[in-house]
Amino acid sequence: MYNDFAINSYLTFRFVYGDHEWKKDIKQFKPKLQNLEEYLVDNSDEIINAFSTIFSKINLDKTTLLISGGIDSAILASFLKKDMKVYSIKFEAENSLDETIVASQYAKEYGLNLTIIKISFNDYLSVVEKLIKNKNSPLHPIEPALYLAAQKIKSDGFDNIITGFNADIKFGGLDLLLAKNWEIDEFIKRFSFVDSKKVLENYIDMKFVFKKYLKGKNIDTILFLKEVYGYDTSLAFLNSIRSADCDLVAPYSYLKLKNKLDIGRIRNGESKYHLKEVFKKRYKNFNIPKKISFARPLDQWLYKWDGPKRNEFKQNINISEFNGNQKWLIYCLEYFLNFND
């Protein structure tokens, strides 16, 4: 018998909140996350100086970079040695966004050798079981892609993978979450990954978790972001990369802002304003790209999926009202429950 709290929590937060088990002797993998912050920064020059020091301490002979079309990994690419091999992911789906086009331009700017890793939905499904087994939990939507990339990187002889992980959280990249002073009910509606009331037979209200982050009438979004909203992504990066016997290198995790984020600037359209200044200095002939999330094409891949069939789920769910990432969470939850029966 599965724990209804764990099922509801996964759909709401993409991880099991607290110390709950899925069922007897099955508890989600939750490593203790290290606090790596060592460098205080408050402007683009200080960030550049910090990265110069950080990269001087990395053994680059056994290290590579996963580079996307965004500024976070592009900035990191600018600190690598010429001719280093780097990697980018290309998803195989009709009309899917191809980040490797821009990633190749970044790599060319710094004389890096780019390898493109192509990933299909069949590839995704081929690794779900292993990742679920290692995590004791259903997966974040990015996990299979990161693992598949890490597998290829490991086979090419690299042990360490640099990523732009933590840049959004540290530097105000999640601008929608920071967009205004959220009251609790509208915040829950907007930032629950799946409304489990619409999906599960045994609904458990997770409002008590959100209430912990109330400051007056509004949610303390910065604290919620640090302790809850980004935790699932931390687990995803660690599980996927460690499952390929590689180590995650996250340079942004070593940075700490001397002063609080300027929420006013973010709300006026200047998300990640510090990093945009760094990007301008490192890529003088480039325009700042439009912000995109890691563009896995789950809308296309799960377009024909009919929805879950297990008894834990409501019958005749209108699965078409959910987006691709939400469908993945429901799909992967059912897969996990079947796997552990």
pLDDT tens, residue by residue, 55-108: 999 999 999 999 999 999 999 999 999 999 999 999 998 877 889 999 999 999
Does residue 73 contact residue 99 with C-beta atoms inside 8 Å? no
Q: Which of 92-96, 104-108, 120-124, 132-136 has the lowest mean pLDDT?
A: 92-96
Tokens of 146: 């990161």
- Model pLDDT, residue 291: 67
Give the model confidence (pLDDT) of 67-80 as tens digits. Answer: 999 999 999 999 99
Banded pLDDT at 270 (limits 50, 70, 90) = very high
- Model pLDDT, residue 119: 96
Please state, in angstroms and rounded to a whole number, the distance separating the CA atoms of residues 96 and 166: 25
Specify the length of the chain in residues.
341
- Model pLDDT, residue 316: 87
pLDDT for 247 beyond 80: yes
- Model pLDDT, residue 197: 96
Tokens of 54: 């950080």
- Model pLDDT, residue 294: 65
pLDDT for 32 beyond 80: no
- In the chain the domains, ranked by start, together with CATH numbers, are 30-295 (3.40.50.620)
Write out the H or E segment, with its range, that includes residue 222.
helix 221-224
pTM of this prediction? 0.95
Give the model confidence (pLDDT) of 312-326 as tens digits. Answer: 999 989 999 999 999
Q: Which of 23-27, 74-78, 132-136, 239-243 has the lowest mean pLDDT?
A: 23-27
* Residue 90, SS3 per DSSP: strand
Please state, in angstroms and rounded to a whole number, the distance separating the CA atoms of residues 174 and 164: 14
Give the CA count within 13 Å in the CB-facing half-sphere of 95: 4
- DSSP-derived pairing of the beta strands 39-41 and 160-162: unpaired
CA distances from 75 to 121, 157, 160, 243, 273 (A): 30, 24, 18, 26, 13
Give the model confidence (pLDDT) of 195-214 as tens digits. Answer: 999 999 999 999 999 999 99
Q: At a CB cut-off of 8 Å and minimum separation 6, what does 295 contact?
A: 91, 96, 97, 99
- Model pLDDT, residue 95: 78
* Residue 305, SS3 per DSSP: coil
Does residue 313 contact residue 337 with C-beta atoms inside 8 Å? no
Please state, in angstroms and rounded to a whole number, the distance separating the CA atoms of residues 26 and 140: 18
